[in-house]
Structure 1
Amino acid sequence: MSDAEMIENRTFDEIEVGDVASVSRTLSQRDIALFALVSGDVNPAHLDADYAAGDMFRRVIAHGMWGGGLISAVLGTELPGPGTIYLNQSLRFVRPVGIGDTITAEVKVVEKRADKGIVLLDCRCTNQDGQDVIIGQAEVKAPREKVRRPRIALPDIRLSDHDNYHRLIAAAASDRPIATAVAHPCSPAALTAAIEAAEALLIEPLLVGPEAKIRKAAAEAGKDISAYRIIPADHSHDAAAKAVALIQAGEARLLMKGSLHTDELMGAVVARATGLRTERRISHAYLMDVPGHPRPLIITDAAINIAPTLEEKADIIRNAIDLAHVIEIEEPRVAILSAVETVNPAMQSTLDAAALCKMADRGQITGGLLDGPLAFDNAISEAAAKEKGIVSPVAGKAEILVVPDIEAGNMLAKQLTFLGGADAAGVVLGARVPIILTSRADSLRTRLASCAVAVLLARAATKAAPGVAAGAAA
């Protein structure tokens, strides 16, 4: 092994007064989260950007003990190194450390005590501007025996920080929130989702449902709804119909599911005479934020189309590409999923994938790069695609995953959510307006992200067709 792959100490006899060692590291939000995880220190001055700097994405003040940890790393790995016993330290934190700061921790031997093998070291941490952030002294017992061994690889720890969702919500928030018909918000969870989205400056909720039930839900949730308009309805089916009617009348530009079944809401949406149909097939998409994955994933369709035909899959892809454009993916890579990556006449999903790719070649599907059939691993992992010899601009880099049917989509989304720690913001596309689907199990972050996606879609539709109801087909 090379010297860089080995770790070696300096014994007491090898150490001389004046010896110096150092390490440097740049502080990230991940470092702060890991420190909180290990220490239990959830001081908002370290973790809450709103508390520390007034802006979620501005500089965050970090705990000085992170810098103290760097000093410990120098002592334990460099000078004296493996076998060192930490006896005492006195550190003074003279300047805060913020995200993006590069800190250099240096230790210098100032005294040796031969009788007990003790070494005193001056400790200093400086930032990228050469300013002191920590100064002090450490007392250690240096090893007597030589140690040289391979460095131990650090464990791969995944943190579900969901920065993509935070940025999405921040981009959608506005002092002009979008009027949103909320169908039957008659449970504390459904009502809370709508009110929290309003408090985040995303939507202006119009609460449609039995007034007594809405007020009861508000009381149970501890939410003040005095500022919001209530449109009375007799029951959940009536609430769905009246919510859709608000869209038809131009009083609302988004539709949001409350505490009614999805099929009740969609029944009102697809009603031929009074619904919100367009020439485009209606489909569902999850915008997924998967910890550790470098890009967002759009999974479609996991909630609306049970066993879509080839023609319906083409519209599902068009809807997903439109969503990708709204979240600023200019030319999304679309992977059409199957169990294999070759065309098999016995597997309809592979035949559909091949046909859809040819449709894209002929200009029938535009705005994205399509490839398929691709197995899931080949769609998201460049290493897996390379191992199988797949040469494609999509393989390993997909941003849109098109599943063969609702069962595959539902299972894939829930596996990523419950095993991979992903968040899934749900939205229905292809209707005259975006439709927000939330679940009682969703976190606040997911509920807000679902609303944020719909808000961005509505704004994009208004820009594309001024004077036309947001989300309407051109």
Structure 2
Amino acid sequence: MTTIRNTPWDALEVGMEAELRRVCRADDFFVFANITGNMNPKHFPRFKNVEGALQEPVAPAMWIATLVSSVLGNKLPGPGTLYKSHCLEFFERAFAGDEVVVRIKLTEKKDDCIAVFECAIDTTDGKKLARGVAEVIAPTDPMDYSFDDIPGLIVERHVHFDKLLAEARPLPPIRTAVVAPESEDALLGPLLGYDNTLIDPILIGDAAKIREAAAKVGRDISAFELIDEPRHRAAAALGVRLVNEGRAAALMKGNLHTDILLAEIVKRDGGLRVGRRLSHVFVMDVPGLTHLLLISDAAINIAPDLETKVDITQNAIDLAHTLGMAEPKVGILSAVETVNPRIPSTLEAAALSKMAERGQITGALVDGPLAMDNAINLEAARTKGIQSMVAGQAEILIAPNLESANMLAKELTFIAHAEAGGIVIGAKCPVILTSRADDDKARLVSCAVAALYAHRKPPA
């Protein structure tokens, strides 16, 4: 328990000092912007100057000033202190990453419990940021306060997806067969991917409907290859054929049933099978997590058996490698972290872990069964006494079945404010499955993930 105590008026003596050190973080500036409404772009990451060069975000001066109140309210005089006045003059600027030191010194005690403090704010590398004077009404009675129950804040900022997009945009766009983009929603995905140089779409479907959708979103699609095939099954077969002929390196689902597209992909003759089960992988940027989180399988395999789970796990690992994870940590989920014969998913999790030890699953650290809490939270793993290289730090979560994976991904999206993209892998090419509920970022990242996978996967 963290407790702070004050120094009451009678115990204050001229000459008393206190200080605070704080590293400036871009997330602090986002919180300040939301509190104050000050949306000055110079305080946000990736601000560009007039020459177009990227600049570190500048710490808002008034945010710097609030650090003085932190010293006064927490240290000297401490809890119970109330402001009377505050005057600061600013000299230089702090930036994200700078460590700031705030020093206060009691210079005078006035009537009515008014204490006067000199204030100095500098960076630890010697920049003089501000000087001034604060007057406060000091507390008269001893007081202490425990602040462990103060709610924390998580900034909804998706830096991991921004990194993926930055890595994918310089790559040559992948030729992508888009099947039945016959509605506004279905057309927006490939258009976003094209605008960001991620994909080069071939539009396959009812040409009249596609042109009508383009008119509704205000886009000219005359420069795109457009193949008129109003029958969805035939359009899906045509998309698969373009991949087999080397004219496309990816598939993208438009406004048709997923089953129709997948049926053409998994055909033994003329499909895109490569000897492994197809599976869907959600790639998620969850606020508060320091890494990407991959979840599988939430869209293809309803009740996978052990053999299918081997492919699901290996598919997710292979995708993780193309996203920059050299040796991802894979948590095989169940309701509990111990093997229980009455819970079949714990038996399969244990088998998958042993198979990874024996080289039947490669390229990752695999452990299970793990419950959700001790898969992603180190404190929960330690509390349960779990000794593992994966527990508490899993980057890939393999769920027991489609229902649990889908609910987990949707809960993170709609409750924890995560962003989610994803693709189907295990075929000759990545398959981008978009949903009408996806926002622009999700559509864009799905294209980026497909592009990175297509460019970086090792040859079959």
Deviation at 1:421, TM superposition (A): 2.2
**Which of 193, 200, 204 is residue 197 of structure 1 equivalent to?**
193
Deviation at 1:12, TM superposition (A): 6.8
Give the whole-Å Cα distance in 2 for the aligned partners of 1:282 and 1:304: 7
Deviation at 1:89, TM superposition (A): 2.8
1:337-352, aligned counterparts within 5 Å?
337-352=333-348
Pairing 1:146–2:141 present: yes
- Indicate the SS of the match to 2:452: helix
Q: What amino acid does structure 2 have at the position aligned with 1:90? A: C
Q: What amino acid does structure 2 have at the position aligned with 1:150? A: Y
Q: Which residue of 2 aligns with 1:406?
A: 402
**Which of 353, 359, 365 is residue 355 of structure 2 equivalent to?**
359
**Which of 11, 15, 24 is residue 9 of structure 2 equivalent to?**
11
Q: CA distance change for structure 1 residues 48 and 258 in 2, over 3 Å: closer, same or farther?
A: farther
Deviation at 1:67, TM superposition (A): 0.2
Q: Which residue of 2 aligns with 1:328?
A: 324
**Which of 426, 434, 439 is residue 430 of structure 2 equivalent to?**
434
Give the whole-Å Cα distance in 2 for the aligned partners of 1:372 and 1:20: 53
Give the whole-Å Cα distance in 2 for the aligned partners of 1:133 and 1:451: 44
Give the whole-Å Cα distance in 2 for the aligned partners of 1:113 and 1:372: 65
Q: Which runs of 5+ in 1 are unaligned?
A: 466-473
Give the whole-Å Cα distance in 2 for the aligned partners of 1:351 and 1:23: 52
Q: Which residue of 1 aligns with 2:376?
A: 380
Give the whole-Å Cα distance in 2 for the aligned partners of 1:58 and 1:327: 26
**Which of 451, 455, 459 is residue 459 of structure 1 equivalent to?**
455
- Indicate the SS of the match to 1:97: coil
Deviation at 1:434, TM superposition (A): 0.8
- Indicate the SS of the match to 2:423: strand
Give the whole-Å Cα distance in 1 for the aligned partners of 2:172 and 2:55: 24
Pairing 1:123–2:116 present: no
Q: Contact conserved, 2:48 with 2:54, CA < 8 A, in 1? A: no
1:51-450, aligned counterparts within 5 Å?
51=48, 59-114=56-111, 116-143=112-139, 145-153=140-148, 154-174=150-170, 176-450=172-446
Give the whole-Å Cα distance in 2 for the aligned partners of 1:36 and 1:432: 46
Give the whole-Å Cα distance in 2 for the aligned partners of 1:260 and 1:80: 67
Give the whole-Å Cα distance in 1 for the aligned partners of 2:113 and 2:32: 32
Q: What amino acid does structure 1 have at the position aligned with 2:406? A: N
Q: What amino acid does structure 1 have at the position aligned with 2:142? A: V
- Indicate the SS of the match to 1:35: helix
Give the whole-Å Cα distance in 1 for the aligned partners of 2:357 and 2:85: 70
Q: What amino acid does structure 2 have at the position aligned with 1:438? A: T
**Which of 28, 45, 59 is residue 31 of structure 1 equivalent to?**
28
Give the whole-Å Cα distance in 1 for the aligned partners of 2:384 and 2:54: 40
Q: Which residue of 2 aligns with 1:469?
A: none
- Indicate the SS of the match to 1:390: coil
Q: Contact conserved, 1:52 with 1:61, CA < 8 A, in 2? A: no
Deviation at 1:60, TM superposition (A): 1.4
Q: Contact conserved, 1:254 with 1:454, CA < 8 A, in 2? A: yes
TM-score when normalising by structure 2: 0.90
Q: Contact conserved, 2:332 with 2:399, CA < 8 A, in 1? A: yes
Q: CA distance change for structure 1 residues 272 and 281 in 2, over 3 Å: closer, same or farther?
A: same
Identical-residue share of aligned pairs (%): 46
Q: Contact conserved, 1:49 with 1:56, CA < 8 A, in 2? A: no
Q: What amino acid does structure 1 have at the position aligned with 2:93? A: P
Deviation at 1:28, TM superposition (A): 0.6
Give the whole-Å Cα distance in 1 for the aligned partners of 2:353 and 2:75: 56
Segment of structure 1 superposing worse, 93-102 or 72-81: 72-81
- Indicate the SS of the match to 2:9: coil
Q: What amino acid does structure 1 have at the position aligned with 2:195? A: E
Give the root-mean-square deviation of aligned CA atoms. Answer: 2.6
Give the whole-Å Cα distance in 1 for the aligned partners of 2:215 and 2:169: 26
Q: Contact conserved, 1:46 with 1:52, CA < 8 A, in 2? A: no
- Indicate the SS of the match to 1:417: helix
Deviation at 1:428, TM superposition (A): 0.4
How big is each residue's C-alpha offset from its partner over 1:158-198, in whole Å with a ceiling of 9 and x where there is no partner? 22212111111111111522222222222222222222222
Q: Contact conserved, 1:192 with 1:223, CA < 8 A, in 2? A: no
Give the whole-Å Cα distance in 1 for the aligned partners of 2:100 and 2:162: 27
TM-score when normalising by structure 1: 0.88
Deviation at 1:133, TM superposition (A): 2.2
Q: Contact conserved, 2:4 with 2:74, CA < 8 A, in 1? A: no
